Structure 1
Amino acid sequence: MAASFSVKLNCRYYQSRFPQLDEIVMVNVNRIQDMGAYCTLLEYNDIEGMILMSEVSRRRIRSLNKHLRVGRNECVAVIRVDEVKGYIDLSKKRVSTEEAEKFQERFIKSKTINQILRHVADTLKFQSNEEFEELYQNTAWAIDVSKDKKGACYDIFKKAAIEPSILNPLNLDENTRDALLNSIRRRLAHQPVKLRATFELNCYSYEGIEAIKHALRAGLMYSTGDPPLQINLIAPPEYIMTTTTLDQNEGVAKLLGALAVIKQSIEEKHGSYNILVEPKIATELDDMELENEMKHRELANREVDGDDSNSEND
């Protein structure tokens, strides 16, 4: 029996081995210590950096654990790079909400490119990181350099799914080009999007919980066909409504319609409705943050009964 292909290949997303000063990067928090939090830079082959304690928040903090969590991804700014010693200092407080939202789009695109090229490497049974890096050099990095923009190759790959000749300028042999096109079409052609809205429901009248359940059921019944709707509880009184669709405009319209039905239903029972986040595309990062938030709230609820005055010292 032939041995299965199981070589674990790794490569940074961009040609430069280190991030530039002031660049925003995505990191995963590994461990938290008194001086700061050690992280891996996800776009730069998991090299290590540190979010300094003084760079976590603009407000005075007593405990890093209240601002950072192990295993969570964070958008941070690079404030120091020592390529010789390998030191990379990072700042969370210097990244605004608007900058983080804009950067997340680039990160998701670059991650998608990585998945496409990793699938090509798997198809062609690459045996070394050098082969994987050469593939990056001849595709994603070459495009990024020509466009002078990190992550620029995503749009080129997406066009290639319909117009393969756009890949002709790349230095690829026939087998690699065919594998790349198949991977692009597999990943990018007719890609559905997930849409999500977050809202609150409260009802303190006699019907209370039953009125909330009735409103949620009414919202779900608004759409009986595609795209299907789903409602999940985050933590009372917050709920999320999601749908996955190939047509973003249609999906947004379905969510808005269902939310309008929920609002009408709960207000008829003298309850209240409040939209927290309007319908928008939910990225993989959004999903991870939502999952972390739900786990955090669940853990907090479990600990309520066992809390005492010595449970945590700031």
Structure 2
Amino acid sequence: MPLFCRYYAQKYPEVDDVVMVTVRSIAEMGAYVHLLEYNNIEGMILLSELSRRRIRSMNKLIRVGKTEPVVVIRVDKEKGYIDLSKRRVSKEDVERCTEKFAKAKAVSSIIRHVGELLGYTQEEQVEQLYQQTAWHFEEKYKKQACAYDVFKQAVVDHSILDECKLDEETRSVMVTQIQRKLQSQGVKIRADIEVSCFEYEGIDAVKSALKSGIEESTVDIPIRINLIAPPLYVMTTSTTEKQDGLKALERAIEKVTSEITGFGGTLMVKMAPKIVTDIEEADLARQLEKAEEENREVAGDDDDEEEEVGMGDLDVESDGEAKNDEAKDEEVEDKKEEE
């Protein structure tokens, strides 16, 4: 049976804390949720705290099973009541909470797995390991989830864990798990753009513009551009440095914008560069597979189809071939007229 423990030293969140919750059920008064960082203790989002606007459909605002950040507005530690608000959460709150939760969850995964390998049978044992490691650093640096950054340093400098006062076996297992979980973890970044040009150059202008974006690639940050469905393209990269990856895609978008506007075309950012989750990545893979099948149906079995070098998986050959076919037809018509 899996052993669980809250992510932070304090048993309850404080008022104004932004926490991650999963919706358990919806009632007349509001939604009952589980606070994921606090060992799934129960809280409630009152109906009046769901939205700033008039509520027309509850299902559009909140769903059972959905995970999202909310802010704590009241805590009764004696009775265990926690009131929460969704409408008071800002965009910045969402970003900070999501990042903190991801770090705390990674630390929790490491500690629980260490406990499993050491044969822990009680949650008190996991809590003790937390007190010696994650909560120790939380107290030291006065910051929740800071253990993630400490563990990242421990990948190359094991001596950082000396102050945790772990026995030799526990320390050895802890170091091994930290290295396996945190060593060179890459993030995947994505942006969605619409690129079009209705001038004479048409598809050639789009190809040229997209190539200029790909030229922003480096060895550490390779950029790929894939066609979803004209004029929608997805730009992706994978890197261990989140900020560098985001900036690289931003530069690539600027380059494509500059190039396509020079041809009289346009670029519209449908989704700014962001880190994608495994679920979003799987969804993208399905979209690309579907697009590839549709392109094959359009292209048929033409053996003369050429590959566009340096365009990643971008498939824009169908339009090019159609253009060539039109040119051939015009040439035949001209010859007939001359005869």
Name the TM-score, length of structure 1 as normaliser.
Answer: 0.75
1:72/1:292 contact within 8 Å kept: no
1:81-96 matches, within 5 Å, as: 81-96=75-90
Change over 3 Å in CA distance of 1:165–1:70 after alignment to 2: same
Q: Determine which of 86, 93, 100 is the counterpart of 1:99.
A: 93
Distance 2:39 2:234 in 1: 34
Paired position in structure 1 for 2:105:
111
Paired position in structure 2 for 1:20:
14
- 2:183 counterpart letter in structure 1: A
Residue 203 of structure 1 and its aligned partner are, at CA, apart by 6.1
Change over 3 Å in CA distance of 1:248–1:154 after alignment to 2: closer
| 2:3 is the counterpart of 1:9 | yes
Residue 113 of structure 1 and its aligned partner are, at CA, apart by 0.7
Paired position in structure 1 for 2:164:
170
Paired position in structure 1 for 2:192:
198
Paired position in structure 2 for 1:299:
none
Residue 263 of structure 1 and its aligned partner are, at CA, apart by 3.5
Structure with bigger gyration radius: 2
Paired position in structure 1 for 2:126:
132
Describe the superposition over 1:234-258 as per-residue Cα deviations: whole angstroms up to 9, x where unpaired: 8987654221113556644653454
Change over 3 Å in CA distance of 1:20–1:221 after alignment to 2: closer
2:5/2:126 contact within 8 Å kept: yes
Paired position in structure 1 for 2:136:
142
Q: Which moved more, 1:246-255 or 1:22-31?
A: 246-255
Describe the superposition over 1:149-186 as per-residue Cα deviations: whole angstroms up to 9, x where unpaired: 22122222222222211211113111111111111122
1:116/1:183 contact within 8 Å kept: yes
1:203/1:270 contact within 8 Å kept: yes
| 2:86 is the counterpart of 1:69 | no
Residue 120 of structure 1 and its aligned partner are, at CA, apart by 1.2
Alignment coverage as a number of residue pairs: 285
Describe the superposition over 1:258-296 as per-residue Cα deviations: whole angstroms up to 9, x where unpaired: 43564467557754312255435x164xx6689899x9x
Paired position in structure 1 for 2:151:
157
1:40/1:46 contact within 8 Å kept: yes
2:209/2:257 contact within 8 Å kept: no
Change over 3 Å in CA distance of 1:247–1:54 after alignment to 2: closer
**SS in structure 2 opposite 1:18?**
coil
Residue 107 of structure 1 and its aligned partner are, at CA, apart by 1.3
Residue 85 of structure 1 and its aligned partner are, at CA, apart by 3.1
> RMSD in angstroms over aligned alpha carbons?
3.5
Distance 1:254 1:200 in 2: 18
Q: Which has the higher helix share?
A: 2
**SS in structure 2 opposite 1:243?**
strand
Paired position in structure 2 for 1:179:
173
Change over 3 Å in CA distance of 1:270–1:92 after alignment to 2: same
**SS in structure 1 opposite 2:144?**
coil
Q: Determine which of 73, 79, 102 is the counterpart of 1:79.
A: 73
Change over 3 Å in CA distance of 1:166–1:55 after alignment to 2: same
Q: Which moved more, 1:268-277 or 1:35-44?
A: 268-277
1:108/1:283 contact within 8 Å kept: no
Change over 3 Å in CA distance of 1:273–1:37 after alignment to 2: same
- 2:176 counterpart letter in structure 1: N
Distance 1:64 1:239 in 2: 34
State the structure with bigger RCO (CA 8 A, min sep 6), 1 or 2. Answer: 1
Residue 138 of structure 1 and its aligned partner are, at CA, apart by 1.4
- 2:16 counterpart letter in structure 1: D
Paired position in structure 2 for 1:298:
none
Residue 44 of structure 1 and its aligned partner are, at CA, apart by 0.8
Residue 22 of structure 1 and its aligned partner are, at CA, apart by 1.7
1:219/1:259 contact within 8 Å kept: no
Residue 132 of structure 1 and its aligned partner are, at CA, apart by 1.4
Name the TM-score, length of structure 2 as normaliser.
Answer: 0.70
Q: Which moved more, 1:29-38 or 1:14-23?
A: 29-38
Residue 70 of structure 1 and its aligned partner are, at CA, apart by 2.7
